[in-house]
């Protein structure tokens, strides 16, 4: 396998990882705030804070890992994304910064204040919206290259149905993934009232997720026919995605196997995300750079791959330790430790 | 001064770094202090030290959160503000950047475990062991990131043929001539500053309240650490000066206002420059610059006049250098005084004047870090990649950097204010004596005010 394929595969897996763990985190923030305003916070907030306390930093690292890896494997992308994403990128940084630090402030520091909860809930929806801009502009048609460098066509971006359908999809997916995970976590913790509530949220956010996916498909066919055609060739991946989605909903509806249901949700997004990504190739940012044209030199490619493998050997045991101590430690989940 | 995109990018990057470096510095140093305190607590079976480690770790969660998010900010801003530089750097120096994320990941995982498992082990040594990966992760993060900064000063590990990069050697780029001294200086001064700040807090607590056992032990531990790290930092500083004299002479010459290449060069301390760039009002230490640069009083030191004028840094970095050194010496002096006072029985090391000097040393050490980094970064000007790319060539051409500057300024005000108010509340409502009584009732009864 060539370095560009190794690189893009590794990065895509990490972006997928970020999509899942960050969605759980972002959605949890929204649910926590929503529960508070509807006076149901006594039911789920304990649960949410027990999950999030030990892992919020890890979530952030997934993201850092992705963009540092992107610049490493595909240095040209630093130039194109960097030049065009100054404003959406900065907004995303500010939101992530507020969210991360105020989460820590509130959790370790003072009492729960409504304002912190609001920030926490709102940023959870705004961050995916602003980050999705990077995906959107990679489809082409939103940046131009002039003598003065690359620049973002803000007007096009803000009036494009495709760009808005991606934003919508990002937000509802976050809520759906998060609800599915928290349903599973509540069942693990044997917290019946929380389980009931989260189960309802999961069933509720299922349909907008599938509607948003369809809308995005349609908008994509209008915006980038090449990518759309390639995705149609990979129809089976999207078929599997829908099948896993239905399977997950069925399990949650029948009130059984919540763990399996969440794994189905992960597969649902795995196939959709990789189907989308495979269709995107060979372009990294259409039509400016392909993975092949922008890949780093061989020496750096090799060094990065070696470091990546060594890094995984270090991180995987550590992550397993973290999960065993918190996520899968039944006593901890139930709040006894 | 024209406020174009390049200038605004410099200002925004400076803003982020000036803010981030505070949290990055304590992020590297405090885990070491926490680990030492917990270990002493276990060995001496003294809950005072265990509580120290617990309380430091608790405060650390706040600073580390701000450190993480501002670190994310600078990581992204490098690409957003310096896209052409990152395109180049990505090809040559991406390796340590990539490794830094692993080190950081490793640290984050174990910090999460460490913070939430204080009472989960029967044998407390297992909990202490969890602090080791945090210390390693934090220090390795500093190591990797510093190699990137070192690379910007003395780039190597590639050939440039026209605009094409060839013969890239990632390891040579990472282990460039500036790496050893820079890493040593950064890591040592981070440890020093963290110890100094914790010492300042302990001294302040003794001044404001009665001197309890807890605070006295905290002060003693942090002052010993300050003294040791002040010595290693002084050594690192000396090695850094010798490195500059050999590899980056224009930076040293600008810092020392040393214009003519000469033997037996004097060291100029503070002073002012007149219109003809002549030094006035300065303290001159005869032959000291030769000694600082090459280790002997009669060696030749390259002067600034040897370099083209458009490739030398601004001369005001002289003050940054002098302030950094002065504050470093102050840290060494104060910690030495404290140790001297505590050895001599008839002198009281907890006397009011000495405690105030220790309190001042905390912010002083942090200022030294800021001055040192300003010196390091401005001293590289006009280059972003010395000899290959000037700052203006690396910057974004997007016209909106000014608004982003305002946005981030507001962000840092909110984050800084939030961190201070949360930290104050965290410790004000929960004094150490009370917590000691609550968590370790027998120790509190035995100890108390001796």
Q: What is the mean pLDDT of chain A?
A: 84
Write the pLDDT tens digit of every residue in B108-149. 888 888 888 888 888 888 899 999 999 999 999 999 999 999
CA A37 to CA A46: how far, in whole Å? 15
Alpha helices in A74-160 (DSSP H): 75-84, 86-104, 114-137, 154-159
**Is the confidence at residue A326, as pLDDT, over 80?**
no
Residue B5: pLDDT band (50, 70, 90) is confident
> For residue B329, what pLDDT is reported?
94
Write the pLDDT tens digit of every residue in B46-92. 888 999 999 999 889 889 889 988 998 998 999 899 998 998 888 89
Q: Is the Cβ–Cβ distance between B170 and A300 less than 8 Å? A: yes
Residue A195: pLDDT band (50, 70, 90) is confident
Cβ contact (<8 Å) for A94 and B77? no
Determine the distance in angstroms separating the CA of B95 from the nearest CA of chain A, rounded to an integer. 6
**Nearest alpha carbon to residue A20 among A292, A212, A310, A268:** A268
Dihedrals phi, psi of A327, to nearest 5 degrees? -65, -45
Q: H or E segment at A284?
A: strand A283-285
Determine the distance in angstroms separating the CA of A260 from the nearest CA of chain B, rounded to an integer. 26
Closest chain A CA to residue B103: A311
Residue A26: pLDDT band (50, 70, 90) is confident
Average pLDDT (A131-144) is 87
| Exposed/middle/buried for residue B434 (C-beta within 10 Å: 0-12, 13-18, 19+) | exposed
Write the pLDDT tens digit of every residue in A201-215. 899 998 899 999 989
Task: Measure CB to CB from residue B62 to each of A61, A94, A105 and give the nearest one.
Answer: A105
Q: Is the Cβ–Cβ distance between A95 and A162 less than 8 Å? A: no
Determine the distance in angstroms separating the CA of B35 from the nearest CA of chain A, rounded to an integer. 19
Instruction: State what percent of residues in chain A have pLDDT above 70.
Output: 91
> For residue B150, what pLDDT is reported?
94
Q: Which of A80, A299, A309 to mutate to test the interface with B (most CBs of B within 10 A)?
A: A299
Determine the distance in angstroms separating the CA of A265 from the nearest CA of chain B, rounded to an integer. 25
Residue B81 forms contact with A (CB below 8 Å): yes
Determine the distance in angstroms separating the CA of A182 from the nearest CA of chain B, rounded to an integer. 20
**Is the confidence at residue A185, as pLDDT, over 80?**
yes
Task: Measure CB to CB from residue B397 to each of A57, A83, A318 and give the nearest one.
Answer: A83
Closest chain B CA to residue A316: B106
> For residue A223, what pLDDT is reported?
85
Closest chain B CA to residue A326: B113
**Is the confidence at residue B357, as pLDDT, over 70?**
yes
**Is the confidence at residue A59, as pLDDT, over 70?**
yes
ipTM of the complex: 0.85
Contacts of A97 in chain B (CB under 8 A): 69-70, 72-73, 411, 415
Closest chain B CA to residue A147: B397
Q: Identify the residue with better confidence: B440 or A174.
A: A174
**Assigned token pair, A269:** 């997004």
Q: Is the dihedral of CA A281, A14, A134, B98 positive or negative?
A: negative
> For residue B348, what pLDDT is reported?
75
pTM: 0.89
> For residue B448, what pLDDT is reported?
43
């Amino acid at each position: 396998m060539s370095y560009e394929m190794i690189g893009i595969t590794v990065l895509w897996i990490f972006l997928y990882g970020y999509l899942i763990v960050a969605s759980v985190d972002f959605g949890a923030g929204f649910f926590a705030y929503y529960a508070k305003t509807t006076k149901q916070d006594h039911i789920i907030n304990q649960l949410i804070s027990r999950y999030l306390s030990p892992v919020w930093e890890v979530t952030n690292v997934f993201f850092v890992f992705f963009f540092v890896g992107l610049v490493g494997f595909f240095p040209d992308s630093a130039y194109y994304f960097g030049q065009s994403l100054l404003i959406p990128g900065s907004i995303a940084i500010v939101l992530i910064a507020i969210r991360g630090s105020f989460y820590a402030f509130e959790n370790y520091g003072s009492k729960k204040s409504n304002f912190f909860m609001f920030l926490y809930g709102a940023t959870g929806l705004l961050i995916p919206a602003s980050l999705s801009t990077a995906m959107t502009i990679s489809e082409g048609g939103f940046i131009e290259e002039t003598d003065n460098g690359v620049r973002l066509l803000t007007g096009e971006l803000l009036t494009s149905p495709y760009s808005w359908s991606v934003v919508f999809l990002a937000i509802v997916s976050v809520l759906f993934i998060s609800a599915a995970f928290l349903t599973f976590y509540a069942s693990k913790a044997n917290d019946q009232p929380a389980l009931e509530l989260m189960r309802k949220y999961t069933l509720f956010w299922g349909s907008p997720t599938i509607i948003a996916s369809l809308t995005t498909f349609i908008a994509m066919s209008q915006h980038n026919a090449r990518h759309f055609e390639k995705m149609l060739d990979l129809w089976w991946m999207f078929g599997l995605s829908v099948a896993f989605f239905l399977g997950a909903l069925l399990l949650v509806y029948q009130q059984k196997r919540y763990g399996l249901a969440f794994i189905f949700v992960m597969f649902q997004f795995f196939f959709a995300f990789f189907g989308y990504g495979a269709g995107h190739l060979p372009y990294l940012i259409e039509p400016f750079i392909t993975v092949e044209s922008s890949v780093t030199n061989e020496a750096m490619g090799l060094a990065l791959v070696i470091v990546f493998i060594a890094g995984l050997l270090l991180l995987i045991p550590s992550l397993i330790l973290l999960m065993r101590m918190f996520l899968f430690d039944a006593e901890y989940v139930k709040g006894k430790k | 001064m024209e406020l174009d995109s390049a200038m605004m990018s410099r200002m925004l990057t400076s803003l982020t770094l000036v803010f981030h470096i505070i949290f990055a510095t304590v992020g590297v140093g405090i885990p070491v202090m926490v680990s030492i305190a917990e270990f002493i607590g276990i060995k001496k079976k003294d809950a005072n030290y265990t509580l120290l480690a617990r309380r430091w770790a608790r405060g650390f969660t706040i600073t580390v959160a701000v450190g993480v998010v501002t670190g994310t900010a600078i990581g992204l801003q490098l690409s957003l503000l310096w896209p052409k530089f990152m395109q180049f750097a990505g090809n040559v120096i991406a390796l340590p950047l990539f490794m830094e994320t692993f080190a950081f990941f490793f640290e984050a995982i174990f910090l999460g475990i460490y913070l939430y498992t204080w009472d989960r082990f029967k044998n407390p040594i297992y909990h202490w062991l969890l602090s080791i990966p945090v210390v390693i992760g934090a220090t390795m993060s500093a190591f990797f990131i510093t190699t990137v900064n070192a690379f910007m000063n003395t780039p190597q590990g590639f050939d440039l043929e026209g605009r094409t990069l060839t013969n890239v050697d990632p390891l040579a780029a990472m282990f460039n001539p500036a790496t050893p001294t820079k890493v040593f200086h950064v890591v040592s001064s981070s440890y020093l500053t963290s110890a100094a700040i914790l010492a300042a807090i302990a001294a302040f607590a003794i001044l404001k309240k009665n001197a309890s056992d807890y605070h006295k032990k905290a002060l003693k531990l942090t002052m010993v650490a300050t003294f040791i790290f002040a010595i290693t930092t002084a050594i690192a500083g000396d090695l850094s000066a010798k490195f500059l004299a050999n590899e980056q002479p224009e930076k040293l010459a600008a810092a020392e206002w040393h214009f003519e290449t000469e033997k037996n060069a004097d060291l100029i301390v503070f002073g002012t420059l007149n219109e003809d760039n002549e030094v006035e009002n300065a303290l001159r230490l005869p032959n000291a610059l030769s000694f600082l640069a090459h280790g002997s009083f009669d060696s030749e030191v390259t002067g600034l006049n040897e370099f083209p004028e458009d490739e030398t840094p601004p001369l005001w970095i002289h003050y940054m250098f002098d302030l950094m050194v002065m504050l470093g010496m102050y840290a060494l002096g104060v910690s030495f005084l404290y140790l001297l006072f505590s050895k001599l029985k008839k002198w009281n090391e907890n006397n009011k004047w000495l405690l105030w000097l220790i309190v001042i040393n905390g912010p002083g050490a942090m200022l030294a870090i800021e001055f040192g980094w300003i010196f390091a970064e401005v001293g590289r000007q006009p280059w972003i990649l010395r000899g290959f790319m000037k700052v203006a060539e690396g910057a974004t051409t997007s016209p909106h950097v000014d608004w982003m500057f305002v946005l981030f300024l507001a962000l840092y005000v909110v984050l800084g204010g939030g961190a201070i108010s949360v930290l104050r509340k965290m410790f004000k409502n929960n004094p150490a004596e009370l917590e000691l009584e609550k968590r370790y009732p027998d120790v509190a009864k035995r100890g108390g005010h001796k």
